[in-house]
Structure 1
Amino acid sequence: MTQVKAWAGYLLPKLGQFLFVVVATYTLVFVLVHFLPGDPLIAALAAKGGASTVIDPAELDALRVQYGLDGTLWQQYFGHLIAAARGDLGVSISTGVPVTEMIARAFPFSVQIASLALLFGVTSAVLITFLAYAAPWPWLRQLLLQIPPFGIAVPAFLSGLLLISVFAFTLGWLPSAGARSFDAAILPAITLALPVGALFFQVFSSAVLEAQNSPYVFTAVAKGVPPRRIFTKHLLRNALLPSITILGLLIGYLAGGTAVVETVFSRDGIGRMTVNAVLARDINVIQGVVLLVGAIYALVNLLVDVAYGFIDPRTRIGGGVPSRARLGAKK
């Protein structure tokens, strides 16, 4: 019963934070898109049909009702919020297709490259960290530690264009565009993996190198334990907590960071759909996508907090005192 109360006290504030982030994200994007100069519906129709588009006032009123843009701003705010809670994100002004349906079609393509990017980035960061730890010469260790920061220094659009030039146009190994085959996702995933792997490497390698100076690692080295076993058995475990934190942030970054990559590689996905919606002033699509990204980011952080509670019980309110300490206190 004590553990149940501990988990309840730990999770309820996290759930409240999750709801707050989602509602705050919706509020912010609603304010931004509705307080831009001009009527959002007229601007979207003008972007769709040209600046000379003329619409009958009665037809315009009917369109406002169709797209949920009738009534006062407060009515629109709460109406869209309640509808979003039911899974209804409105209808796209530029295409006339429900936003939920558009997201459902594009979302799997973004998930594919985001998942591959996370896999490539984390795997390469762990591998380079291990090689730096096991390197017999200090100069080689320092060289390996300097490689990942280049992933942050080089912009994604530039690295994407370089990858297309080398592996698509010069070598012909991989396609330069498209989203219908698995090999078409490799170059976009590598482009995203460069900054993702570099950011993860900064935290993971620091945690590993800090744990390297611990007494138990010194003892393992003195006993002749191979470096690979020390790395997998001791160093990885101690680098787990800070790595989980940055992993949650990276997943949130990937949820909204695909726009440039999908544009460079002419690939369908959430990011490219958002860019097209901004150009078309399609506020229903913009609101729906931003709300989805905010919800994913909040959900990932909630899962990270739950994982923290499992990995390190001290983070749970009232449930973090080790059993030996409790027994010692009773004595």
Structure 2
Amino acid sequence: MARINVWVFYLLPKLGQFLFVILATYTLTFVLIHFLPGDPLVAALASKSGDSAVLDPAVLDAQRVKYGLDGSLWEQYFGHLLALFRGDLGISISTGVSVTDMIARALPHSAQIASLALVIGVIGAVIITFLAFAAPWPWLRNLLMQIPPFGVAIPAFLSGILLITIFSFGLDWLPSSGVRSPGSQILPAITLALPVGAIFFQVFSSAVFDAMSSSYVFTAEAKGVPPRSIFIKHLLRNALLPSVTILGLLIGYLAGGTAVVETVFSRDGIGRMTVNAVLARDINVIQGVVLVVGATYAIVNLLVDIAYGVIDPRTRPAAAKPSRKAQEVGA
């Protein structure tokens, strides 16, 4: 019973933080959209029909009701908030389709390349870190350590174009666009994996090389333990906590960072849909995408906090020092 109480006291603040992030994301998005100069509905309809379109006031009022933009700002705020809890993100002004359905169709394509990019980036970073750790010469170690930062230095649109030029137009191995062709997700995933792997490498390699100066690593080397065993059994464990933290941030980055890649590779997805919504001034789609990305980021952070509590009990103050009431209940 005491153990359950410990986890309850540990998770309640995290759940409260999760709900706060969702509410704050919704509020900030609503305020920014509705306090921009001009009427958002008029701007969206003008972008859809042309600037010279004549908007009948009666038709405009009907459109406001249809898209949930009627009433005062407070009525719109709480009306959209209640609809959000029902899973209703409104209707797209530019397409007339439910925003929830649009996101449900686009999200799997973005999740596919984001997941593959995360796997490629993390595996690549771990392999390069191990090679640098096991390198017999300092110059080779320094050379390996300088490779990943290029993933951040090179813009995603440039690396994507280079990959298309080499593997699509030059070698004709992989498709350059679309979502239905076999292997169409590989080049976009590699393009995303370059900055993701570079960022993960900076944190992971730093934790690994900091642990190399530990006494247990020195003892293992003195006993003749192979570098691979030292790396797997000792160094990986010490690099786990900071790596979990950066993984949470990277997943949040991937949730909303696919716009450039999906545009370069002409893929349907959340990022490209967001770009189109901004160009069309479609505020319902913009707000829906921001909420989904914010919710994804909040969920990932919640899972990271839970993982922290499982990996290292010292991160759970309630676990380290249970209250007297919890001890009495457990007894």
Letter in 1 for 2:301: N
How far apart are 1:182 and its partner, in Å?
A: 4.2
Aligned: 1:230 with 2:215: no
Aligned: 1:242 with 2:242: yes
> Greater shift after overlay, 98-107 or 7-16?
7-16
Aligned: 1:129 with 2:129: yes
Equivalents in 1 of 2:198, 2:321: separation in Å? 36
Equivalents in 2 of 1:293, 1:157: separation in Å? 22
List aligned pairs for 1:1-331, cutoff 5 A: 1-320=1-320
Q: Would you say the 8 A contact 2:208–2:238 is kept in 1?
A: yes
- How many percent identity over aligned positions? 77
Equivalents in 1 of 2:258, 2:198: separation in Å? 17
Residue by residue over 1:281-311, the C-alpha shift from the partner in whole angstroms, topping out at 9 and shown as x without a partner, is 0000000000000000000000000000000
Equivalents in 2 of 1:271, 1:85: separation in Å? 24
3-state SS, counterpart of residue 319 of structure 2 = coil
Figure out how many residues of one structure are paired with residues of the other and give that number: 322
How far apart are 1:58 and its partner, in Å?
A: 1.1
Q: Which runs of 4+ in 1 moved over 6 A?
A: none
Q: Would you say the 8 A contact 2:132–2:141 is kept in 1?
A: yes
Q: Would you say the 8 A contact 1:9–1:317 is kept in 2?
A: no
Gaps of 5+ in 2: 323-331
Equivalents in 2 of 1:162, 1:320: separation in Å? 52
How far apart are 1:318 and its partner, in Å?
A: 2.1
3-state SS, counterpart of residue 317 of structure 2 = coil
Residue by residue over 1:164-215, the C-alpha shift from the partner in whole angstroms, topping out at 9 and shown as x without a partner, is 1111111111111001134111110000000000000000000000111111
3-state SS, counterpart of residue 178 of structure 1 = coil
How far apart are 1:56 and its partner, in Å?
A: 1.6
Equivalents in 2 of 1:28, 1:321: separation in Å? 38
How far apart are 1:90 and its partner, in Å?
A: 0.3
Corresponding residue number in structure 1 for 2:328: none
Corresponding residue number in structure 2 for 1:329: none
Give the TM-score, by structure 1 length: 0.96
RMSD of aligned Cα (Å): 1.0
Q: Would you say the 8 A contact 1:314–1:321 is kept in 2?
A: no
Gaps of 5+ in 1: 323-331
Q: Would you say the 8 A contact 2:175–2:181 is kept in 1?
A: no
Give the TM-score, by structure 2 length: 0.96
Distance of aligned partners of 1:253 and 1:182 in 2 relative to their CA distance in 1, 3 Å threshold: farther
Residue by residue over 1:84-106, the C-alpha shift from the partner in whole angstroms, topping out at 9 and shown as x without a partner, is 11100000000000000000100
How far apart are 1:80 and its partner, in Å?
A: 0.6
Equivalents in 2 of 1:108, 1:320: separation in Å? 41
How far apart are 1:321 and its partner, in Å?
A: 6.0
Distance of aligned partners of 1:114 and 1:182 in 2 relative to their CA distance in 1, 3 Å threshold: farther
